[in-house]
Amino acid sequence: MENTVSNQLATLGHPQRLSVFRMLMRRIPDRVAAGDLADALDIKPSTLSNYLNALQRSGLVVQERSGTSLLYSVELKNVQQMLGFLLNDCCRGRPDICMPQEQGKDKMTDRKFNVLFICVGNSARSIFAESLLRDIAGDRFNVYSAGTQPYSELNPFALQVLKDKGHDTDLLRSKNVAEFSGPEAPELDFVFTVCNKAANEECPAWDGQPISGHWGMEDPVKAEGTDAEKSLAFQNAYGALKRRIQAFTSLPVESLDRIALQSAVDDIGRENFEDAK
C-alpha cells in the first residue's frame, strides 16, 4: 500500500496532472470525454493523453468506451484508499490534526438548510432549481442560485415556463457566485452545479464544507429552431430538474450522516431524468 500511495502522490505532484484529476473530481458522477477535458483545461489532446495514461497507471482514473468516445472518471475506491492511508498511517488516525474541524460533524443539524444552485449564466437552469426547491420543500431550505458568468437578465423562455407552472418570479434575478463568499454570505449546507461548464470552473472554497453535487444537464438556452421548439427545451429542462429536486426533498436529511447524504446526492445526479415532464 505504501508504494502504491507514493506512486499516486507522485503522479498528482505534477501540476497539470493534478488539474485533470481535480476536474474529474468536480464532475463526479459524470464520465467525461477527453475532448471536453482538453477544451476545459486548454491542454493539447496529445499532452492530455499522456496525463490521463499516468493517472490510469496509478489507479486514480478509469477509462470506459462509449461508442467511438473514450470517457474518463475518478476511481473513487482507490482515491478513498489513498486518503485513508494518509489519515490512518501518516496521521495515526487522528482527524483532529489532519482534517478541518468541520469534518467532525457527522450529521446535519435540525435547522433550516442553505442550498445554492450554480450554472454559468444563472438565467434558466439554476433559476428553475431555485424556484422548484423553494416551492416543493416549503420552509425546510433557504434557497439561492448564482452564475459564474451571470447574464444581466433572466431568459424570457425560462420566466414563461415558471409563470405557467405557477411560480412567483418577482424576486428572481441573476446573481454572481461571488455574492456567496465572504464574511457576510450565508454558510452553505449544499452546493449543486447544474451545468458542466460551471462544474469545470473554479468556485470559491466554501466555508463549512457543504455537501456538493453535480447535476449536469443540457443548456436549453442553446436550443435552436422555432419558438415552440425552444420552449420545449426549457420545458424538458424544468421537468428533469423537478424530478431531481423531488428526489432530494425526499431524503431524510436530518437523520443521514454526511457520507450517506453525499452518496445519495451523487445517486440523484446519476439518474437519467431527461425525459421527465
Domain boundary residue among 92, 116, 140? 92
Within a domain: 18: yes
Asked whether residue 203 is assigned to any structural domain, the reply reads yes
Element (H, E) at 224: none
pLDDT by residue for the chain (277 residues), tens only, comes to 888 999 999 999 999 999 999 889 888 888 889 988 998 888 999 999 999 999 999 999 999 998 888 899 999 999 989 988 888 888 776 666 676 554 444 555 667 899 999 998 999 999 999 999 999 998 889 999 999 889 889 999 999 999 999 999 998 999 999 888 878 888 899 999 988 765 565 665 676 778 988 888 888 998 999 999 999 999 999 999 999 999 999 998 888 888 888 889 988 988 765 444 4
Are 127 and 245 contained in the same domain? yes
Q: Does 200 share its domain with 230?
A: yes
Q: Quick check: is 90 catalytic?
A: no
pLDDT at 275: 45
Domain assignment of residue 99, yes or no: no
Predicted pLDDT of residue 200: 62
CA dist 171 and 134 (Å) reads 12
Are 177 and 229 in the same domain? yes
User: Is position 203 annotated as part of the catalytic site?
Assistant: yes
Pair 257, 189 in one domain: yes
In angstroms and rounded to an integer, the radius of gyration of the C-alpha atoms of the chain is: 20
Is 98 part of any domain? no
Among residues 58, 92, 126, the one where a domain terminates is: 92
**Are residues 82 and 110 part of one domain?**
no
Domain span holding position 58: 2-92
Would you state the pLDDT for residue 104? Answer: 41
Our answer to whether residue 195 is catalytic in this structure is: yes
Whether 275 maps to a domain, the answer reads no
CATH code of the domain covering residue 58: 1.10.10.10
pLDDT at 205: 62
Decide the pairing of beta strands 113-119 and 141-147. Answer: parallel
For residues 161 and 241, state if they share a domain: yes
Q: Which listed residue (90, 91, 98, 203) is catalytic?
A: 203
* 151 & 76 share domain: no
150 and 116 share one domain: yes
> Looking at this protein, which amino acid is placed at residue 159?
L
Alpha helices (H) in the chain, listed in sequence order: 2-12, 15-26, 34-41, 45-57, 76-85, 95-98, 125-137, 156-164, 196-200, 227-249, 258-270
239 and 171 within one domain: yes
- Separation between Cα atoms, residue 256 and residue 74, nearest integer Å: 25
Say how far apart CA 251 and CA 98 lie, in whole Å: 30
The answer as to whether 136 is a domain residue is yes
Final residue belonging to a domain, choices 92, 117, 138 = 92
Close Cβ partners of 119 (under 8 Å, ≥ 6 residues apart):
125, 126, 145, 147, 148, 193, 194, 195, 197, 198, 219
C-alpha cell belonging to residue 111: 435547522
Angle at 273 between CA 130 and CA 265, to 5 degrees: 60
According to the model, what pLDDT value does residue 152 have?
A: 85
* Whole-angstrom distance, CA of residue 201 vs CA of residue 193: 10
**Do 263 and 143 lie in a common domain?**
yes
Q: How many domains does the chain divide into?
A: 2
Which grid coordinates are listed for 75? 476511481
The answer to whether residues 117 and 191 belong to one domain is yes
